[in-house]
């Protein structure tokens, strides 16, 4: 991905998101290093993210730039080497993690789901695990347009349908923050447009959406705020050009 078309992140650009007073996600000098000594590799390097409430935040960067690692850090799936994460104004630590995760839906890397079960059976597992109402499950399936395919085995789903099922699982708890890693992988142009419209409509309802991609054009069509990651470093963060 060529980031040369974007202005360099001078003080004004860096401060646009920082002026938001109602940030759902903030990180300070967030760093994750794997390995030690000469074999050490820094995947996320002193990252300062600010994600306002009720926007689609487009997280851009080539494969290997650290997007998935960052998302795992935000979900508490990885422990930072240094730096900090705050969600909804609270620190992401052992004391707050359970309450914070109850407000978040996510799909990281491969979409979840058991192939030998139907879509509906997979959703029932989520329902039981999270203690959800049937209406929440039905709404999630309807939002991603999988209602008519709910009784098919997931192993017969296309990649795009599996992606949509994963998004339905993330949406079922009606989260305030939705974190999606490359959610349009495997989708045809019509499917990509459907997901784009869904995420924008969720943001319009006040849901904060963090969505990653390595495709500039895809993110440019939906994001209200852009963050560009390169080699683990944030090189640009600002409101998307209108």
Between residues 184 and 137, the one the model is more confident about = 137
Inform me whether the pLDDT recorded for 10 exceeds 50. Answer: no
The 3-state secondary structure of 47-69, one letter per residue = ECCEEECCCEEEEECCCCCCHHH
Position 163 scores a pLDDT of 87
Distance from C-alpha of 34 to C-alpha of 166, rounded to nearest angstrom: 28
Q: What is the DSSP letter of 156?
A: G
Position 176 scores a pLDDT of 95
pLDDT-derived band at 12 (thresholds 50, 70, 90) equals very low
Give whole-number Cα distances, 160 to 112, 167, 179, in Å. Answer: 13, 11, 18
pLDDT in tens, 165-185: 999 999 999 999 999 998 887
Distance from C-alpha of 66 to C-alpha of 131, rounded to nearest angstrom: 33
Position 11 scores a pLDDT of 42
Q: What is the DSSP letter of 155?
A: G
Task: Determine the longest span between alpha carbons in the chain, in angstroms.
Answer: 54
Proportion of the chain above pLDDT 90, given as a percent = 61
**Strand 208-213 and strand 56-60: pairing?**
parallel
Between residues 167 and 112, the one the model is more confident about = 167
Task: Give the mean model confidence (pLDDT) for residues 208-221.
Answer: 86
Q: Where are the domains of the chain?
A: 8-103+176-242, 110-174
Could you report how far apart the first and last alpha carbons of the chain are, in Å?
Answer: 21
Task: Give the mean model confidence (pLDDT) for residues 32-57.
Answer: 92
CATH 3.40.50.300, applies to 8-103+176-242: yes
Provide the whole-model pTM. Answer: 0.85
pLDDT in tens, 17-38: 444 457 999 999 999 999 888 8
Position 21 scores a pLDDT of 57
Distance from C-alpha of 61 to C-alpha of 46, rounded to nearest angstrom: 16
């Amino acid at each position: 991905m060529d980031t040369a078309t974007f202005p360099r992140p001078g003080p004004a650009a860096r401060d646009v998101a920082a002026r938001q007073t109602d940030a759902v996600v903030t990180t300070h000098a967030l760093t994750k290093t794997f390995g030690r000594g000469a074999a050490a590799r820094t995947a996320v390097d002193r990252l300062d993210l600010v994600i306002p409430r009720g926007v689609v935040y487009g997280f851009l960067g080539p494969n290997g730039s650290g997007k998935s690692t960052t998302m795992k850090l935000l979900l508490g799936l990885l422990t930072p080497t240094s730096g900090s994460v705050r969600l909804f104004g609270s620190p992401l630590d052992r004391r707050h993690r359970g309450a914070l995760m109850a407000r978040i839906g996510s799909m990281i890397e491969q979409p979840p789901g058991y192939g030998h079960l139907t879509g509906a059976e997979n959703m029932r597992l989520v329902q039981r695990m999270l203690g959800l109402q049937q209406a929440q499950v039905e709404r999630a399936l309807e939002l991603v347009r999988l209602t008519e395919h709910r009784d098919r085995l997931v192993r017969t789903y296309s990649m795009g349908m599996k992606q949509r099922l994963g998004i339905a699982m993330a949406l079922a708890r009606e989260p305030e923050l939705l974190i999606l890693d490359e959610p349009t992988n495997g989708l045809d142009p019509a499917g990509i447009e459907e997901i784009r419209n869904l995420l924008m409509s969720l943001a319009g309802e006040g849901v904060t959406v963090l969505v990653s991609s390595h495709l500039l054009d895809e993110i440019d069509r939906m994001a209200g705020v852009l963050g560009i990651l390169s080699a683990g470093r944030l090189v640009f963060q600002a409101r998307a050009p209108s």
